[in-house]
Amino acid sequence: MRRVIVVQARTTSSRLPRKVLADVAGRPMLAQQLRRLAACRLADEIVVATTVNVTDDPVAAVAREEGARWFRGSETDVLERYVGAAREARADVVVRITADCPLIDPEVSDRVIATLSGEPGRWDYVSNVVPTRTFPRGLDTEALFADTLERVHRMAHSQAAREHVTPFIYQERPDLFSIGSVTDREDNSDLRWTVDTSIDLELVRRLYAALGIGERTVSYREVLAYARAHPELSALNALIPSRGA
């Protein structure tokens, strides 16, 4: 069973353009995220799925420099981009992660992958996002079988489903899919570690600097302990509205 992480990344974010290339501890944010994902034990390959736009040439360059495969497709039809990336990588399991999560945790992502692939036939889709989020926003991991992704590609037509890849499964037609969930032992969903704004980026930079995250793989538990011990950091972006699940 070939398990492939597909990271969607582009420079044309409406809230914080070029955020994936922003400096975090001396490297592009995307590079830092790819280095953390490289520690996933259950992933066979990482693919950066970016667009065909010239403005995303630097995104492909970061993928190449970090030893990841890259795939280029539609900017607006992200579902189609995922399908193309999965086909090219010959994936049996597709793991969806967005490129605005520089604190993504390999052990947490491995839990999602293991839950899906450990019992073939039980689940079509597993995430740590729906129906209940217990991890901080920014550790989001979704896993689905390649044939599930192909089914969604054939059936999904709404703009939301084409742009956000998986809402067809858990919002539009959950009756068609077996949906599994990975939760933590306590609820830390109040924490926001994703990067949508300059304030989010400042928080991530402070955490990287304080814990030396750019030089070593710091676990989720260590980041969590530091964040809880320094509530003034989480207060920086606590009022920023979140989008999506």
Tens digits of residue pLDDT in 164-175: 999 999 999 999
Q: Output the six-digit token pair for 176.
A: 């068609």
> CA angle at residue 92 from 176 to 125, to 5 degrees?
30
pLDDT at 227 exceeding the cut of 80:
yes
What pLDDT score was predicted for residue 245?
45
Q: What is the reported pLDDT for 146?
A: 98
**pLDDT value, residue 213:** 97
**pLDDT > 70 fraction of the chain, expressed in percent and rounded:** 99
From the candidate CATH numbers 3.30.70.20, 3.90.550.10, 3.40.50.880, 3.40.50.720, the one assigned to the domain spanning 3-234: 3.90.550.10
Domains of the chain, by residue range, sit at: 3-234
Note the pLDDT of residue 243.
62
**Per-residue pLDDT for 57 more than 60?**
yes
Query: Which residues lie below 8 Å from residue 29, measured CB to CB, with a gap of 6+?
Result: 19, 20, 21, 22, 23, 99, 100, 102, 195, 201, 204
Tokens found for residue 177: 């899919």
pTM of the full structure: 0.96
